Structure 1
Amino acid sequence: MAFEEHLVEDARLVILKELASQNDNRLSETMLGHVLQIFGHTRSREWVRAQLRKLEEMGAVKLTEVGTVVVADLAQAGLDHVERRAFLDFVRRPGLEA
């Protein structure tokens, strides 16, 4: 696997974990971009949006456009991945946490 693929899979996991940590399981693409930057994924808004669309194709998130911003809502498949009940291809598996 190419290094870029590892980065993409890690970024997708960061997105899912951050959505799962929210009280309502939702965040805007802008806020997710800030979270990704904290974890070392400094990418454009278009790149973040592309990852969200891919996660939507997988059934991991549901996207809603609010004006010019995309809001991601964690879907059951995304939560199952974060909680290690079922795994999604092309998303890094979460580690075991105590």
Structure 2
Amino acid sequence: MNDFDAYLTEDARLVILKALHLEADGRLHDNALVVALDTYGHRRSRDWVRTQLRKLADLQALHIREAGTVMVAEIRQAGVDHLELRGRIEGVALPSRSS
């Protein structure tokens, strides 16, 4: 992966965490995350999003559960800490201080 691809992937992971954090219950399904990413200029497939969700789960940023053919992600404390600049998750872009 080149530097620009890595930058885009890290930014997309940040968008995923932000989208989850905005939800009252901290959860969204994979199709909703595809739409959220598209809103921020990350036009990615559902399979790509699922791969990123698995990576973020490995990093303890979120929890995944599967409901039939849908993958549901729920933000965890480490993901919230990253967004609020109280922690750092390697492989996820840092949010700007104004976000």
Q: How does 1:1-98 map to 2 (within 5 A)?
A: 2-97=3-98
Distance 1:30 1:79 in 2: 21
Q: Give 1:58 deviation, angstroms.
A: 0.1
The secondary structure found in structure 1 opposite 2:92 is coil
TM-score, structure 2 as length reference: 0.96
Q: Give 1:75 deviation, angstroms.
A: 0.5
Equivalent position amino acid for 2:22 in 1: S
Seq. identity, %: 47
Q: Give 1:2 deviation, angstroms.
A: 1.0
Identify unmatched segments of 5+ residues in structure 1. Answer: none
Distance 1:57 1:79 in 2: 15
How many residue pairs end up in the alignment?
98
Q: Give 1:26 deviation, angstroms.
A: 0.2
Q: Give 1:37 deviation, angstroms.
A: 0.4
TM-score, structure 1 as length reference: 0.97
Q: Give 1:33 deviation, angstroms.
A: 0.4
